[in-house]
Amino acid sequence: MLKSKSRQNQNDKARTKVAILGSGNIGTDLLIKIMRSQYLRCSFFIGRKLGSGGMARAINLGVRISDHSVEAIVDEPDCCDIVFDCTSSETHKRHWTILEKLGKRVIDLTPAKVGRLCIPSVNMEECLTEPNINMVSCGGQTAIPLAYVLGQTQQHVEYIEVVSTIASLSAGPATRLDIDEYIHTTELGLKTFSGCQQTKAILNLNPAEPPIDMQTTVFAKVGSPDMERLHFAVTNMVEKIRKYVPGYQIIVPPTDGNNRISIMVKVRGIGDYLQKYAGNLDIINCAAVYAAEEFAKDGLRSRVRGTASDKCDESS
């Protein structure tokens, strides 16, 4: 038993320390996902209300909590290496002015678009040196990889429209507050990754009972569609995404009607915090965890290279 505990302590020390800002639906679901990570350890779960459901869940998981918001990190800078910001767009902008001075790497799950837009299946490698990355939105993580594929396989993409529908129960107060920013940032992401300059994003909150699964439809107006190339590229992209979001699935494959292509995706959640209908939590949180693990692994590789270099210097 003592040896087992010793190994566990060593594993904990080897994992990268992370803090979560925001104790709502996104932050709490993220916490549970991080608890399974081999590369990350949540050292601080931070909000503003000790009585929230997220705080209670963190206590039950044995994670240290605080209701002092970003000041908890200011007071104890060594508590973490990576900060996940799960608050709101405007709040993140204030947080970044503080966290940047502290030298923290930040993964922003709000649509603040302060840092570089990150879609792990598309540009994770380019994001490894960035101090602040933005995970766009749940609809963005779902649709932008497909928009990217459209831009890569089609000669002329004139227009892209993305319609996402999520269960209203899965949208917390911060998500509702940020709907305008959600639209703007998702549209920016579509333009950035597809090369198409005319884009539109729509988000529907559906109050149906029982709650519906997250669904996203991508519409594109394309001159002379190359459907064979598109089908092949979409299949490859879905395989990449499913490595970190297992519930991501195409329910209507690329279909062409008078040069208007449509693709429909459903995201089924794991059911970590809310039930499995909340695929919008999974798509953005799984992407954020994947990005943080890539940061952690890149840090490990750098330390190994540094150790090897030191040994070479000693031997010479």
Q: For residues 161 and 141, what is the distance between their CA atoms, to the nearest angstrom?
A: 14
Residue pair 289/30 in contact (Cβ under 8 Å)? The answer is yes
Rounded to a whole number of angstroms, the CA Rg of the chain reads 20
Annotation says 118 is catalytic: no
Q: Determine the length of the chain.
A: 316
| HSE-CB for 192 with a 13 A CA cutoff | 18
What's at 110, amino acid-wise? T
What's at 316, amino acid-wise? S
What's at 291, amino acid-wise? A
Selecting among 118, 138, 196, 286, the annotated active-site residue is 138
Angle at 192 between CA 250 and CA 195, to 5 degrees: 80
Q: For residues 216 and 219, what is the distance between their CA atoms, to the nearest angstrom?
A: 10
Q: What Cα–Cα distance (Å) separates residue 118 from each residue in 108, 140, 219?
A: 10, 10, 22
Phi and psi at residue 65, in whole multiples of 5°?
-125, 165
User: Residue 11's beta-bridge partner residues?
Assistant: none
Catalytic residue annotation = 138
